[in-house]
Structure 1
Amino acid sequence: MKRIVILNILALFFALNSLNAQESDHLNWISDFNQAKAIAQKENKPILIFFTGSDWCGLCKLLEKDFFASEKFKNIAVKNLVLYKANFPRRTDLISLKQKEINQELDKKYSKSRRQRVFPTIIITDKNGKELSFLESYNYIHDTSRHYKMLDFILNKNKP
């Protein structure tokens, strides 16, 4: 009986420890673009805007898994970027009406020079929202090298 209790306590300990590790792996995606801009201005960091269709875009999901969930990206992002996810889901309950309106405004603002929004798209702006770089689409060969080159270029360009 004591063994069962001890085994259950150990299992609970490892389960809780695993949950804490998973929680610390999450990136801080700001849900309000005005707040993201305020943080970027305060911390003098560029803003990475990720245009995604979280519930329908297969390539967006792949990019999240291959790029945004990588330790390499997390280490870069925590120190150097403010993150904003401009989500365009098909399910209306996934984002608020206010978020939908803000995302549509961002789409209009940052797609002026392009015909139509391609999903996924990453746009990096300066702390004031001026576009510095963009990268459209992703592929099934899981090659994130272009994404890291863009980050490297922007982050090295903006160093004082």
Structure 2
Amino acid sequence: MRFPIFFLFALLMAAGARAQTPPATSWNTDLTAALAQAKANQRPVLAVFSGSDWCKPCIMLKQEVFDQPEFAQYAQDKFVLARFDFPRNRKNQLPPAQTKQSEQAAAQLNKEGTFPLVVVLSPEGKVLAKSGYRPGGPAAYDTYLSQLLTAR
């Protein structure tokens, strides 16, 4: 009798823990696919250009904002997310196909080579705003992005 009760208790605890887990943040690495998803869902694209292993503000933006559960919760119903990374260390190199996709996105949206660069695009691909690192963590960044969306 103890085993079934223990098993049921463990199952309920696992279900409760899963219910509290924030949504996983899914990032596109293909601008065309991100825009197609944005058009289908009528959401803007949040495209991020980063140098994940050499750009200190890029690393800070990722750690302080994009990796936080608060940002995942905020972004899940507001944006289609796209990340284009340009690592320099050999051990961090991306697959050639992904590197090509990042280069194509940069040719369209980041001709200046700015890092980090955050670009908000309409579902049709029109640039609505450009930004970079902003201190204050996910709450401040979420507020800033909300202001950018209402200004459009």
Alignment TM-score, normalising by the size of structure 1: 0.70
The one-letter code sitting in structure 1 at the alignment partner of 2:82 is Y
Deviations 1:60-99 (A, max 9, x none): 2221121112333222210110000001012456422222
Q: Which residue of structure 2 lines up, in the alignment, with residue 152 of structure 1?
A: 146
**Is the CA contact 1:88–1:103 (under 8 Å) kept in the aligned structure 2?**
yes
Within a 5 Å distance, the mapping from 1:1-160 to structure 2 comes to 25-91=23-89, 94-112=93-111, 114=112, 116-118=113-115, 120-138=116-134, 142-144=135-137, 147-157=141-151
Q: Which residue of structure 2 lines up, in the alignment, with residue 3 of structure 1?
A: none
Give unpaired runs (5+ residues) of structure 2.
1-5
Alignment TM-score, normalising by the size of structure 2: 0.73
SS in 2 for 1:80: coil
Q: Which residue of structure 1 lines up, in the alignment, with residue 3 of structure 2?
A: none
**Is the CA contact 1:47–1:127 (under 8 Å) kept in the aligned structure 2?**
yes
Deviations 1:38-63 (A, max 9, x none): 11000000000111112222322221
SS in 1 for 2:119: strand
**Is the CA contact 1:48–1:123 (under 8 Å) kept in the aligned structure 2?**
yes
For 2:31 and 2:21, how far apart are their aligned partners in 1?
A: 23
Deviation (angstroms), 1:125? 0.6
The one-letter code sitting in structure 1 at the alignment partner of 2:120 is I
Cα-Cα RMSD: 3.2
Percent of aligned positions with the same letter in both sequences? 24
**Is the CA contact 2:57–2:133 (under 8 Å) kept in the aligned structure 1?**
yes
Rate the CA distance shift 1:32–1:108 in 2: closer, same or farther, 3 A.
closer
For 2:19 and 2:99, how far apart are their aligned partners in 1?
A: 31
Aligned pair count reads: 143
For 1:136 and 1:72, how far apart are their aligned partners in 2?
A: 19
Give unpaired runs (5+ residues) of structure 1.
1-5
For 1:27 and 1:84, how far apart are their aligned partners in 2?
A: 10
